[in-house]
Amino acid sequence: MALRLGLPFPILSDAEGAMARALRLPTFLAGGDSYLKRLTFVVLDGRTEHVFYPVRDPETHPVEVADWLRAGM
């Protein structure tokens, strides 16, 4: 997916939900299905540097993350 979208970083997929369960990530129910709440992990060299949660405005969130990264993490 990252290559198709032209992203300079990898995309993590957790289709089976193993990571979400292991980390007890926040979820919500809709239509009888469980979904992850919006959050962003910044991972560097295998270490979680920062977690953005909650994501209050998904439209401005990418700018918030980019600003944080530009500020030197």
pLDDT tens digit sequence for 24-38: 999 999 999 999 999
Q: What is the pTM of this model?
A: 0.78
> What string of DSSP letters covers the chain?
-HHHHT-SS-----TT-HHHHHHT--EEEETTEEEEPP-EEEEETTEEEEEE-S-S-TTTHHHHHHHHHHTT-
pLDDT of residue 24: 97
Q: How confident is the model over 34-73, as pLDDT tens digits?
A: 999 999 999 999 999 999 999 999 999 999 999 999 999 7
- Is the bond preceding residue 62 a cis peptide, omega within 30 degrees? no
Q: What gap in Å lies between CA 36 and CA 17, rounded to an integer?
A: 9
Residue-level pLDDT at 1? 78
